[in-house]
Structure 1
């Protein structure tokens, strides 16, 4: 009986993975049909087979599909970033959006846009691939400031959150200064983007984001055992032979890099990195070998659903996906904050 229960428990995460993948596929297919221009399921199939109209092909392949793929990539990246932060800090309230890491990345990207006259034409296509590196620099700066200012004989969860909120506010103020110097069109573009709008709706942005996700998430999964060890406490981890500070720095860099790459394309999407790991932890448990892929799938599903709702609820207007996620995530954050001793 015990061996049967053990086998059942070992299969549970993979069953959950399968259910999440099926849910993502279902939402993906539904989202293909919905939008300002509705396309019937049969017409979607015809278009994929090369027998659809030019209009349907343009809508699907040039606008809708790249946006949906980016939503999947960003959702997975931000969720894994949040899972790493929560594991390293042993703080269930950690999230790259709440702690100001997203704000630091956003600040660097707005600087980049500002100095290239608010557009991506300054360097042509190359600028799209440079943006994630600028976002990474901004995210690293924010993470460094948070760590330094929160350190006081260690970093407590509450102090980390409070310092992160302060850093977030500081970067938001700096962002506003540069936004006010922009022309009205660029100001509106920056404002919508910072609220969490998946504005990179072409395949170039997909190609700019894809390598970061495909490299960093598998590497994080490779490092998952160190997250498990770090959760045992520094002393126990050291006794087990782990180089605690080195592994912590590597994991923090992975989290910051994922957040920066996602912010470069998706803007300031907060709370996703908080909510997705918590849902994943309830589904598959605390082992990071399972938690990280589950977080990636949950994050991808949540952002895909949020993007679908944002595009369709107030047609022809569009709600930035970051606001949809915030409406879902903010109450959960308050709930977790009240539960934290």
Structure 2
């Protein structure tokens, strides 16, 4: 049984994060290459703005804000799942190669397949999922031992190795591509939020609507997987089955996010760690906090990045990496 004081602390933390997200959204709507006065936000929202104000808010700012928020949530949840099923604090979809697998699949699709404008947006998460799934199958194959099961440390190390190899594959793919397509893939690799229109939101939203409740429903199974294997088996948990189901969930979440935001790493590493530090290691407690925290961190990084340098700004993936890479090294030394 969870102590009422801990539940109260969780609710307070969620409320504070929602407040931070709201403030960041409000600030983000007014900042940018074309500014929007804050005293005009509410009139514009209720349909009393000028054509320019409504275009800036509804066609430029809000789609980008919502897609960034959703992608950050998906990446944070994917990281929390991976850390739980591998019992390894270094697991992150960007670090272990899942994002790279999705990126290579998107690059192949973009470079070599005919693109239908109407279906392209909705196919991207599916294509990314296929690439990420093939990648994680390789990682799982090389880190699994018949009589010992999944090796958590080996899982991360194999993932890093495959991510490096996939980076080489990406370079080969773009070396002979058209300049316009190379520019797109370069932006993707930098973690530049490129899916900034409403259809991209409808493309990623169903994945989160299904997979977030599913993960919360399986949170107690994640708690058991965090224990040693004999304990989990003794209470009737089919370890490999649960790992595979949750691993597929993490892959789908990460793929749906990076298909519209690019190769953003470290959100899935940082957000779960901060959430655990705030509320403890129980998955049903820290996962909701991790989801909101991941959304807020990526939204904050993008809001800062797109306003630092005009007109293109700094990709959110680079800003996140500036914080995440030193934190990853700290965790490596600590572990």
Sort the TM-score into its range (normalised by shorter chain): over 0.9
Q: Does 2:162 match 1:167?
A: yes
Q: Does 2:8 match 1:11?
A: yes
Within a 5 Å distance, the mapping from 1:182-261 to structure 2 comes to 182-261=177-256
1:119-165 C-alpha deviation (Å, 9 max, x unpaired)? xxx21221111111110011111111111112344444432222111
1:328 deviates by: 1.2
Match of 1:39 among 28, 36, 39: 36
Counterparts of 1:116 and 1:204, CA distance in 2: 21
1:188 deviates by: 1.0
SS of the residue 2:5 aligns to? helix
The aligned residue for residue 277 of structure 2 is: 282
Counterparts of 2:271 and 2:59, CA distance in 1: 29
Match of 2:264 among 246, 269, 277: 269
1:179-204 C-alpha deviation (Å, 9 max, x unpaired)? 11211111011111121111011001
The aligned residue for residue 336 of structure 1 is: 331
SS of the residue 1:125 aligns to? helix
1:195-242 C-alpha deviation (Å, 9 max, x unpaired)? 111101100101001000111111111110100111112211111011
1:37 deviates by: 1.2
The aligned residue for residue 289 of structure 2 is: 294
Stretches of structure 1 that go unaligned for 5 or more consecutive residues are: none
Match of 2:314 among 316, 319, 339: 319
SS of the residue 2:117 aligns to? coil
1:290-334 C-alpha deviation (Å, 9 max, x unpaired)? 121111000000000000011101122311111111011111111
Number of residues of Structure 1 aligned to a counterpart in Structure 2: 333
Q: Does 2:143 match 1:150?
A: yes
Structure 1 runs (4+) deviating above 3 angstroms are 152-158
1:34-63 C-alpha deviation (Å, 9 max, x unpaired)? 111111111112211211111111111011
Counterparts of 2:104 and 2:334, CA distance in 1: 32
Within a 5 Å distance, the mapping from 1:113-128 to structure 2 comes to 113-116=110-113, 122-128=115-121
Match of 2:125 among 126, 132, 135: 132
**Quick check: 2:6–2:279 contact (8 Å CA) kept in 1?**
no
Report the TM-score, using the length of structure 1 for normalisation: 0.95
Q: What is the aligned-residue RMSD (CA, Å)?
A: 1.5
Report the TM-score, using the length of structure 2 for normalisation: 0.96
Mean alpha-carbon deviation: is it higher for 37-46 or for 303-312?
A: 37-46
The aligned residue for residue 84 of structure 1 is: 81
Counterparts of 1:335 and 1:104, CA distance in 2: 26
SS of the residue 1:268 aligns to? coil
Q: Does 2:18 match 1:21?
A: yes
Mean alpha-carbon deviation: is it higher for 312-321 or for 77-86?
A: 312-321
Counterparts of 2:311 and 2:126, CA distance in 1: 34
The aligned residue for residue 62 of structure 2 is: 65
Match of 2:299 among 292, 297, 304: 304
Counterparts of 2:291 and 2:3, CA distance in 1: 25
Counterparts of 1:138 and 1:239, CA distance in 2: 36
Stretches of structure 2 that go unaligned for 5 or more consecutive residues are: none
Counterparts of 1:6 and 1:82, CA distance in 2: 26
SS of the residue 2:90 aligns to? coil
